[in-house]
Amino acid sequence: MATYNAPLDDMMFLFEKLRDNKHYNDLEKYKEVNADLAKDILEQAAKITENLILPLAKTGDENPTKLENGVVITPPGYKEAYKKFIEDGWTSLSCDPKYGGQGMPKTISTFFDEMLSSASLSFKLYSELSIGAYNCILHHGTDSIKKKFLPNMVKGIWSGTMCLTEPVCGTDLGLLKTKAIEQPDGTFKLSGQKIFITSGDHDLTDNIIHLVLARTADAPAGTKGISLFLVPKIQVKEDNSLGPRNSVSTGSIESKMGIKGSATCVLNFDEAIGYMIGPKNKGLSSMFTMMNLERIVVGIQGLGISEIAYQNALNYSKERKQGKSNNSKLKNGADAIIDHADIRRSLLNMKSMIEGERALSFWLAQQTEVSLYHNVSKIKQEALDLVSLMTPVVKSLFTDIGMEITSDAMQIFGGYGYTKDQGIEQLYRDNRITPIYEGTNSVQAIDLVFRKLANKNGSVIENYTQLVKNGIDESKNNVETKLFAEKLNQYLKILIDFTTWIEKSMKNSKDDVSAACNDYLKVLGLVAVGYSWLKVLDVSFKEIKNNKIFFEDKIETAKFFFDRILPRINTYYKSGISGSENIMKFKFN
C-alpha cells in the first residue's frame, strides 16, 4: 500500500509567508483565521487523512462499489470512516456558518482537498460533489430551499450530486433530453436518464440531493433551453423530516479503470419531483457556479495524487539498490537508485512541479475568496476575471502533470510499480479520470482560447501578463532573484507572442487556434507556475537564515524548475504556431 505524510511544512509555509494578496487580507470575515488556527486544522486534517482515509484507498480498489437489489453498497470501511468524517465536522469546513458551517477560507480547505485526494480520491468524491451542490444551492436557491436542504448537507448527513451527462451528451450539453414538466403546485416532474453520475447512489447518507439539468416543455433547443432542478432521492416534508422515496432509481453502476470505490451511476428519473433552481432556461450558468469551483478542485485532485506518488517514489529510490552510480564509492554491491542522475532528475521533475502547483493553487484560493466576498465590486470583478482565466489552466495542467508524475513514479518502481503490491499503479489508474471529467482537458483548452482570452477584448489576459511582469520587475531588483526573473521574463515574452498569434489566427483560421489550444494552455500554465516559484524564491532568500534546510531546498528545487521545466515552453510554442493545414487535410484512411 502507498504511504502518505501530509506535506504540512510546505502548506504552513505558504499560509504564513505567501498570504500576500492585500484584498484577501482585507476580508473582514477571515480576520481571525491566523496561522495558529490554520496549523491546528491542518494537523487534524493530516491525522484523519493519513490514519483513517489512506487505508480506504486499497480497500476501495479491491472491493469496488456494488449494486445489490437496486441499492449501492460502498466498499468495506467506508460507512464507518464517513461517520467519523462527518462527526468531526469535515464536510462543514468551508461552509457558511449560517447553515452550520465553520466558515473556513479556501486558503485552508484547498490544502484539505489536496490531502484527501492524496489519501483516497474515491472516498473524497462522496463529500466533494456535496460541497459543489451546496455552493450551487447557496448561490442560486431561494431562502426556503436553502433552509430546507443546506443544513443537512453541511452536516454531511445528506449528500449531493451534479447530473449533467446523458447517453448522447457529455461535452455538448445542448443535446440533452431530460424533460421537466411543470405541475400546478409549481413543482416539476423530471423524466430521463443521466449517466456517469458520481455518488449518484450510495449507503453513506440518509438522503441524496441531485442537481439535474433538464428542459421544460416550452424550452428552446440547445443550451439556451436548459434549466436546473433540485431533485431529492427521498422527498423532504414541510417539517423537514424525510417523506416517501422520489422516483429516482439506479439503473447500474460503472465498472471502471480506477476510483473503484466511488459509485459512478446510471440514474433513471421517472416523473421524479423536482424544484427549479435559479431562472428558467439559465440552468447552465447556475450549474457553472458549481462546475467552475469544482474544476479547480479537480486540478487539486491531480496535485494530491502527484504528491503521494512522489513521496512513494522518493522513499523507494532510497531503498532500492541497483548498479553503481557515476560517483560510486562502493567496491562491491550496488548504490541506491537515488544516486543515479536520471532518477534524481525524475524526482526533481515531480517535486518542482508539485511545489510550484501548490503555490499557484494557494494564490488562486486567495483570488477566489476575493472574487466571492470583497465588498468593492471592481476588486471583486478583477479577482473573478483572474479566477475564470486560471480555472481551465489549473484543471488541465495539474491533471495532465498528474499523469506524467504517476507514470514516472511507476517507472522509478520498475516492475514493482507495474504490479499491484506497492499501490503505485493504482495512483496512475485513479488519476486517469481527472483529465476527463468536469469537462475534458481539451475542452478546457478550447474554453481558454476561445472564451477566456477573448473576454473583455483580451484585457483579462493582458492584466494577468502585466501582473507577472510587475512581479518580474520587482524580483529583478534583487541580486539573488535577478537571474530567475530574467529567465521567467523570456518565457513571459513567448506567452505574450503566443497570445498575439492566437488573436490574429482567430480572424484567419479557427482550426489553427483549436489545434494550438492545448499548447497555449501549457505555456500559460507553466508561466503561472514559474511566477508562483518566483514569489516563493523572494521569500526564501529573505528567510534563509531562519530555516536553512527548508529554504535551501526551495531555492534548489526552483533552480531545477527554471532550468528544466520552463524550457518546455519553447516546444509548446513552436508546435502551437505551426498551424493546422496538414492536420485538417490529412486523410485518415
Ligand X SMILES: Cc1cc2nc3c(=O)[nH]c(=O)nc-3n(C[C@H](O)[C@H](O)[C@H](O)COP(=O)(O)OP(=O)(O)OC[C@H]3O[C@@H](n4cnc5c(N)ncnc54)[C@H](O)[C@@H]3O)c2cc1C
What is the distance between the terminal CA atoms of the chain, rounded to a whole angstrom? 46
> Helical H runs in 320-420?
341-373, 377-412, 415-418
| C-beta of 407 vs 442, nearer to ligand X | 442
Maximum distance among all alpha carbons in the chain?
A: 88
CB contact at 8 A, 49 and 8: no
Question: 165 Cβ partners below 8 Å, 6+ apart?
Answer: 194, 195, 196, 197
| C-beta of 457 vs 582, nearer to ligand X | 582
Among the listed ranges 111-119, 156-164, 349-357, 407-415, the one in contact with ligand X (CB under 6 A) is 156-164
| C-beta of 231 vs 527, nearer to ligand X | 231
Among the listed ranges 364-372, 399-407, 436-444, 472-480, the one in contact with ligand X (CB under 6 A) is 436-444
CB contact at 8 A, 59 and 76: yes
- Site mask for ligand X (CB under 6 A), range 114-153, x = bound: ----------------------------------------
Residue with CB nearest ligand X?
Answer: 170
CB contact at 8 A, 166 and 176: yes
**Residue 439 binding ligand X, by CB under 6 A:** yes
CB contact at 8 A, 93 and 102: yes
Among the listed ranges 87-95, 162-170, 266-274, 412-420, the one in contact with ligand X (CB under 6 A) is 162-170
- Interacting residues with ligand X between 189 and 218 (CB under 6 A): 196-198
- Rounded CA gap, 582 and 426, in Å? 38
Question: 459 Cβ partners below 8 Å, 6+ apart?
Answer: none
Question: 234 Cβ partners below 8 Å, 6+ apart?
Answer: 206, 207, 208, 242, 243, 244, 245, 246
Per-residue cell: 534 = 518566483
Q: What is the enclosing helix (H) or strand (E) of 585? A: helix 581-585
- Rounded CA gap, 445 and 435, in Å? 11
| C-beta of 242 vs 454, nearer to ligand X | 454
**Residue 170 binding ligand X, by CB under 6 A:** yes
Q: How far is CA 316 from the centre of its chain?
A: 27
- Rounded CA gap, 512 and 506, in Å? 8
- How far apart, in Å, are the Cα atoms of 519 and each of 28, 456, 572? 40, 22, 5
**Residue 107 binding ligand X, by CB under 6 A:** no
CB of 342 to ligand X, least distance (A): 32
Among the listed ranges 27-35, 158-166, 402-410, 502-510, the one in contact with ligand X (CB under 6 A) is 158-166
Among the listed ranges 24-32, 339-347, 437-445, 562-570, the one in contact with ligand X (CB under 6 A) is 437-445
- Interacting residues with ligand X between 415 and 434 (CB under 6 A): 433
Angle at CA of residue 524, ends 519 and 530, nearest 5° = 125
| C-beta of 248 vs 433, nearer to ligand X | 433
- Interacting residues with ligand X between 260 and 299 (CB under 6 A): 264
| C-beta of 195 vs 347, nearer to ligand X | 195
Q: What is the enclosing helix (H) or strand (E) of 513? A: helix 510-543
CB of 112 to ligand X, least distance (A): 21
Among the listed ranges 160-168, 223-231, 370-378, 499-507, the one in contact with ligand X (CB under 6 A) is 160-168
**Residue 162 binding ligand X, by CB under 6 A:** yes
**One of 18, 27, 138, 164 touching ligand X (CB under 6 A):** 164
**Residue 171 binding ligand X, by CB under 6 A:** yes
Kindly list the catalytic residues.
438
Angle at CA of residue 548, ends 544 and 551, nearest 5° = 60
Count the residues of the shown chain that bind ligand X, applying the rule CB under 6 A. Answer: 21
| C-beta of 18 vs 125, nearer to ligand X | 125
**One of 269, 437, 464, 531 touching ligand X (CB under 6 A):** 437
- Rounded CA gap, 350 and 357, in Å? 11
CB of 385 to ligand X, least distance (A): 24
CB of 4 to ligand X, least distance (A): 22
| C-beta of 287 vs 364, nearer to ligand X | 287
Among the listed ranges 14-22, 102-110, 157-165, 393-401, the one in contact with ligand X (CB under 6 A) is 157-165
**One of 73, 204, 390, 446 touching ligand X (CB under 6 A):** 446
| C-beta of 198 vs 306, nearer to ligand X | 198
- Rounded CA gap, 104 and 357, in Å? 22
- Rounded CA gap, 479 and 387, in Å? 32
| C-beta of 196 vs 561, nearer to ligand X | 196
**Residue 403 binding ligand X, by CB under 6 A:** no
588: number of Cβ within 10 Å: 3
- Rounded CA gap, 145 and 136, in Å? 12
- Site mask for ligand X (CB under 6 A), range 534-573, x = bound: ----------------------------------------
**One of 440, 463, 547, 578 touching ligand X (CB under 6 A):** 440
**Residue 67 binding ligand X, by CB under 6 A:** no
Residues forming the site for ligand X (CB under 6 A): 161-165, 170-171, 196-198, 256, 264, 433, 436-440, 442-443, 446
